[in-house]
Amino acid sequence: MKRREFLSHAGSAAMVTALSPGLLSSCAAREKSPAAPAFNYTSAYGVQTLRIWSPLVREAVHLFAMADSHLYEADERNAPYHPYSARMEGAYNEVAHYRTHRPTTPAAAFRECMEVAAASPADAIVHLGDLVSYPSEYSIEYASALIRKSGKPFYYVSGNHDWNYEGLDDDDKTAAREQWMPRLKPFYNEGVNPLMYSVVIKGVKLIFIDDSADTVSPEQIDFFCREVRWDGPSLLMMHIGQAFPGHDSFYLGYPRFRPVYTPGRGLAMLSKADGSHEPQIERFFAEVLRASRETGLLATVVGHEHDIRSEEVENHRQFVLPFGGNGSYTDILLLPLNESVPYTGYEK
Ligand SMILES: [Fe+2]
């Protein structure tokens, strides 16, 4: 099926299609962008497929993408920190499998995902954070053994739960992340800076920025600006999505509230004192939108929301991956403009 035929057909297919009126109405402006991407984000039987076509993509790339697996188990090593992990130890203990709807657990679902990924033609596995619900050594060892066994290249950026003992050092999340990040080392490739790194897969650059402490640093913004300016296409990969103006969710830069957990008292949304973005987040958003106009930045892909979402701001697209604790995952296919739709032949 030719691309144009597929796009016109997709709207009538028996699946959820995330092409918005905003996308259609901005096609003329998009054609002026160097990336000039076209998108199709579908969900069928719990498996998402995000297709991105661009003339900058020379060879098809297939990413097996996940987020928010939320493994919650621990052993005796976690006992001293139990007061700070109790809420997340009890979260997502039993979930409905994305396809069978039968009860399963995040650990069983993650095992299945790594087996499916290993048997798929994916070039790499990408995990966009909250792989574990708190820095449990047991769950980190369990997951990293399965990742290694898959035999696939694995790229990860941390989520706000991966390193967080709730109520412990919540006042300075950047410092808490620094303290607990060493436990997450098995999820990273040797030698990378977990806060910012990039990798090129078959001519497409993935830029990972860790915004899991609800902010980005000037160094991370500078890194993004440098990395995105190259001859090829790029994807920005983070855990927390960007709260562009008008988007009222727990996103990076959400202007009015921040989540704070107190053991025994639960989770509360407290007002930020001045009700505004931090200045460097405003700068980051501006740089992302500029990169969409001036470089081969195709889109941002994030997790965190536990829901499927696709939104467009100016000429930039942000895609949110679904909750992965039930085994759900997303095939991201980066395709040359004239490429028909591959990878439909293997068992999902
Ligand atoms: Fe999450």
Do residues 49 and 319 make contact, with C-beta atoms less than 8 angstroms apart?
Answer: no
Domain architecture of the chain: domains with CATH: 3-335 (3.60.21.10)
Q: How many residues does the chain have?
A: 348
pLDDT digit of tens for each residue in the chain (348 aa)? 333 333 333 333 323 333 333 333 333 344 445 557 888 888 877 788 999 999 999 999 999 999 999 999 999 999 998 888 888 888 888 899 999 999 999 999 999 999 999 999 999 999 999 999 999 999 999 999 999 999 999 999 999 999 999 888 777 888 999 999 999 999 999 999 999 999 999 999 999 999 998 889 999 999 999 999 999 999 999 999 887 766 655 567 654 455 556 666 665 555 555 545 567 887 898 899 999 999 999 999 999 989 888 888 888 899 999 999 999 999 999 999 877 665 544 444
**In the prediction, which pLDDT does 29 show?**
40
pLDDT score recorded for residue 331: 95
CA 9 to ligand 1 centroid distance, Å: 34
For residue 53, the CA-to-ligand 1 centroid distance in Å is: 28
How far away, in angstroms, is 249 Cα from ligand 1 center? 13
Q: For residue 45, what pLDDT is reported?
A: 75
The 10 Å Cβ neighbour count of residue 248 is 10
Q: In which residue are the tokens 């984000």 written?
A: 41
Q: Return the half-sphere exposure (C-beta side, CA atoms, 13 A cut-off) of residue 100.
A: 9
Radius of gyration of the chain (CA): 19
Distance 239 CA to ligand 1 centre (A): 9
Residues near ion ligand 1 (CB < 5 Å) are 68, 130
306 CA to centre of ligand 1 in angstroms: 6
Please tell me the predicted confidence (pLDDT) of residue 94: 86
What's the 251 CA to ligand 1 centre distance in angstroms? 12
Gap from CA of 71 to ligand 1 centroid (Å) = 10
- Cβ atoms 181, 158 nearer than 8 A: yes
- What secondary structure, in 3-state letters, does the chain show? CCHHHHHHHHCCCCCEECCCHHHHHCHHHHCCCCCCCEEEEEEECCEEEEEEECCCCCCCEEEEEECCCCECCCCHHHHHHHHHHHHHHCCCCCEECCCCCCEECHHHHHHHHHHHHHHCCCCEEEECCCCECCCCHHHHHHHHHHHHHHCCCEEECCCCCCCCCCCCCCCCHHHHHHHHHHHHHHHCCCCCCCCEEEEEECCEEEEEECCCCCCCCHHHHHHHHHHHCCCCCEEEECCCCECCCCCCCCCECCCCEEEEEECCCEEEEEECCCCCCCHHHHHHHHHHHHHHHHCCEEEEEECCCCCCEEEEECCEEEEECCCCCCCCCEEEEEECCCCCCCCCCCCC
Distance 254 CA to ligand 1 centre (A): 17
Query: 322 alpha carbon to ligand 1 midpoint, in Å?
Result: 9
Strands 309-313 and 16-17 come out as unpaired
Residues contacting residue 302 through CB under 8 Å, at least 6 positions apart: 67, 128, 237, 238, 239, 240, 241, 242, 318, 319, 320, 321
Q: Report how far ligand 1's centroid is from the alpha carbon of 86 (Å).
A: 16
pLDDT score at 325: 96
Alpha carbons 178 and 99: distance in angstroms, whole number: 37
- Distance in Å, CA 240 to ligand 1 centroid: 9
Check residue 190 and give its pLDDT: 96
pLDDT of residue 28: 37
pLDDT of residue 83: 86
**Cα distances (Å, whole numbers) of residue 287 to 52, 88, 110, 293:** 21, 35, 35, 10
Amino acid 88: pLDDT: 87
161 CA from centroid of ligand 1 (Å): 7
CA of 92 from ligand 1 middle (Å) equals: 10
Ligand 1 centre and the CA of 70: distance in Å?
7
